Chains A and B, each alone.
Chain A
Amino acid sequence: MKLRMSFASAAAIAAALFCGTAAAAPQHKLGAGLTMYFQMGGSPGDASTLPRELGAKAAAKALGVRLISQYSDWQPEKMIEQFRQAIAAGPQCAEIMGHPGNAAFAPLVSKAEAQGMVVTAGNVPLPKLEAKYRTNGFGYVGTYLVQGGETTAAAMVKAGHLKPGDEALEYGVFAEGIRGESDEGLVMGLKKAGLKVYKLNISNAVNADPALSVPILVAFIERHPKLKAIGTQQGLVTSFIPKALQEAGKKPGQIVVGGIDLAPTTIAGVKSGYIAATLNQQLYMQGFLPVVQCVLTKRFDLEGMNVNTAAGTDDKALLDKIEPLIKKGYY
């Protein structure tokens, strides 16, 4: 009897302590009680998605937000479908990507805003919607696409001492609307430097499996023996360009390469000298800040923030410093 009562008392005290602690903890977090649907972009774990995912989860954990991740394999129609699902679920916030464009998202964003949802954009901008709903917290965290492409082009021209009349290839996702603006930016940057630029579209098959880009690039290089530069704004394709150059018999530096993101093999390409510069989108920030946006608007009615996460291009020296973080997926 005594033992039973002791056990019961101890259990009651423990339960009280647990409940008290559990009740107290969420109240200290600014985002407690908020749910946010977040479009990550590709598939779980691909090199251009993982850092964003890690950033969003870190922010959600720090702020006490319940995060629902959505993956679209970079398919615009799937992004629209997933936003429809998000609206139906009725969360407080949602982050969307601009690949489908302003017109495609406009009716859904209008519906979400009418429900009192905070909607914000990441990775690819939605400038018209941002201008319309900024006061409701619609912001943008990502690269300024055209500017990012131009930055990459400038780095390529400088690293490769490229001259007017030199030939270059931009291998990009030209068929993806707003997303293709970064490739157009790179083309503009090279043309401003006086280069002759060829444009080649990345097919759906290559987008899904970038190893398939290798023979295509070899064929192009062989067809254009005066080629001096190759640019791309597709992260995984960037990592396969060195292999294509090797198979075409090119040594590091013979053809200047500018790319984007920091896949482990891209780092190897920069270290070997095949890749001159890669635009660092700081994808972790693209995941972290939209969650912060959600909380700041919901709690304090703050307006949408517009943040350019592309600080610039990374070369060998900078990569040495951040490589340990890259290997863990933080870039």
Chain B
Amino acid sequence: MSGSDVSTGRPAAPKSSPRWHAHLGAVPIIVVFFALIGIYIGFAPEVFLRWPIYNSFLVTIPPMLVLSLGLTLVIAAGEIDLSFPAVIALSGFLFAFCADKLHMPWLGLVAAIGGGALVGVINGWLVAALGIPSIIITIGTSFFWSGVATVLSGGLSYALNDLTGTVIARVFSGTLLGVPVEALWAVAVAALIWAILNRHRFGEHLLFIGDSREVARVVGINTVRERIKLFTLMGALAGFASFLMTVANLSYFSTQGQGLLLSALAAVFIGGSSVFGGSATVVGSFFGAMIIGMLDAGIVATGVSGFWVEVIVGLVFVAAVVLHTGLGDPARVKALQRRLMQRE
């Protein structure tokens, strides 16, 4: 898996500009990730030089990671999807109901992914066919599907301890050679999304659309169809993330997923994908999700008061985005420097 960015349609830089930055891709965020690990080890060696904390991360981060990977494609196409927390709630209910009431957990898996895909199809049609901005549609559908999940579940939580030891729990929530399989599934999804974005026509189309929807349409890309497919894929991935979360926790709450909205989005942006669309990095989102997922626990382990967590998350977010902007568009940084020097 290479860390190269994929961007299309951008005019070539002037020959006098160094292009070394264009090959950096996700390297900056990977450096930040390992630097953070180093800081954690330095301040809390008794925690970060032992396996349990990493095991915990490998169990809890994968759902957010899967969401971030889906969002990477969405953002690459210049869109946004804010309905995934509602899909987490809905798909989690579908799985929990099938597992607990029907005793058919495998049907529940299909229902969870299918339910998410259904939400995605509706989002995609409303956005692409009707032309309504995705931020508006997905805010609205988020409210709607959250409400549906609450109505269907009657507000009840489900304890799914009966799944312990079953095949589905071992396949999706067990361990393989000591590694939580949730993490392996997340890596598999990452590889798939990377292949789609970098080696498949669909990914190329998404980047074209993100760069300029009008140009993409003129060159013959069916932007309506591709965006419907995009949101459907995002919905299915959110459904899978919900299933992973529910089977790992062996419980379902109708409010699950609400805390992941900002985290999953932050992971994509600090990973280096452009908020304007047209370029994206799956490797960046991968490490971005790892950083976001580890921050809270890492800060607690170093002994810093929990009140500082959100301050530090915000600083890391802004610093990462500024770093990516500076490295991705050094001409803009030079122009800013010239402007500041002129003022002085």
> Is B158 among interface residues, defined by CB-CB distance under 8 A?
yes
Given the complex, which residues of B lie within 8 Å of A204, measured CB to CB? 310
Judge whether A209 and B258 touch: CB under 8 Å. Answer: yes
Q: How far is the CB of A319 from chain B (nearest CB, A)?
A: 12
Given contacts A222-B46, A222-B50, A243-B249, contact A53 B259 (CB under 8 A): no
**Besides A46-B253, A206-B259, A218-B297, 13 new A-B residue pairs in contact (Cβ under 8 A), listed by A number:** A50-B156, A53-B155, A203-B296, A209-B255, A211-B249, A212-B60, A212-B296, A216-B300, A219-B56, A219-B297, A223-B300, A265-B251, A268-B159
From residue 181 to 217 of chain A, which have CB atoms closer than 8 A to chain B?
200-212, 214-216
Q: Which of B53, B59, B150, B161 contacts A222 (CB 8 A)?
A: B53
Q: Closest residue to A239 on the B side, CB-wise? A: B251
Given the complex, which residues of B lie within 8 Å of A244, measured CB to CB? 56
> Is B17 among interface residues, defined by CB-CB distance under 8 A?
no
> Is A33 among interface residues, defined by CB-CB distance under 8 A?
no
Judge whether A209 and B260 touch: CB under 8 Å. Answer: yes
- 7 A-B residue pairs with Cβ-Cβ distance under 8 Å, sorted by A, are A50-B156, A53-B155, A208-B258, A209-B259, A222-B47, A248-B56, A265-B159
Given the complex, which residues of A lie within 8 Å of B59, measured CB to CB? 214, 247
Separation of A243 and B55 alpha carbons in the complex (Å): 12
Separation of A214 and B52 alpha carbons in the complex (Å): 11
For chain B, which range describes its interface: under 10, 10 to 19, 20 to 34, or 35 or more residues? 35 or more
Q: Closest residue to B293 on the A side, CB-wise? A: A215
Q: How far is the CB of B181 from chain A (nearest CB, A)?
A: 14
Q: Which of A47, A49, A218, A223 contacts B44 (CB 8 A)?
A: A223
From residue 45 to 63 of chain A, which have CB atoms closer than 8 A to chain B?
45-47, 49-50, 53
Interface residues of A: mostly helix, strand, loop or mixed?
Answer: helix
Given the complex, which residues of B lie within 8 Å of A203, measured CB to CB? 296, 306, 309-310
Judge whether B306 and A45 touch: CB under 8 Å. Answer: no
> Is A220 among interface residues, defined by CB-CB distance under 8 A?
yes
Q: Closest residue to A71 on the B side, CB-wise? A: B150
Judge whether A216 and B249 touch: CB under 8 Å. Answer: no
Q: How far is the CB of B155 from chain A (nearest CB, A)?
A: 2
Q: How far is the CB of A233 from chain B (nearest CB, A)?
A: 16
B3-46 vs A, CB cutoff 8 Å, 1 = contact: the mask equals 00000000000000000000000000000000000000000101
> Is A329 among interface residues, defined by CB-CB distance under 8 A?
yes
Judge whether A219 and B298 touch: CB under 8 Å. Answer: yes
Given the complex, which residues of B lie within 8 Å of A264, measured CB to CB? 157-159, 251
Separation of A175 and B308 alpha carbons in the complex (Å): 12
| Interface hub of A53, A203, A209, A248 (most chain B Cβ within 10 A) | A209
Judge whether A216 and B157 touch: CB under 8 Å. Answer: no
B115-156 vs A, CB cutoff 8 Å, 1 = contact: the mask equals 000000000000000000000000000000000001001111
Judge whether A208 and B153 touch: CB under 8 Å. Answer: no
Judge whether A223 and B157 touch: CB under 8 Å. Answer: no
From residue 36 to 50 of chain A, which have CB atoms closer than 8 A to chain B?
42-47, 49-50
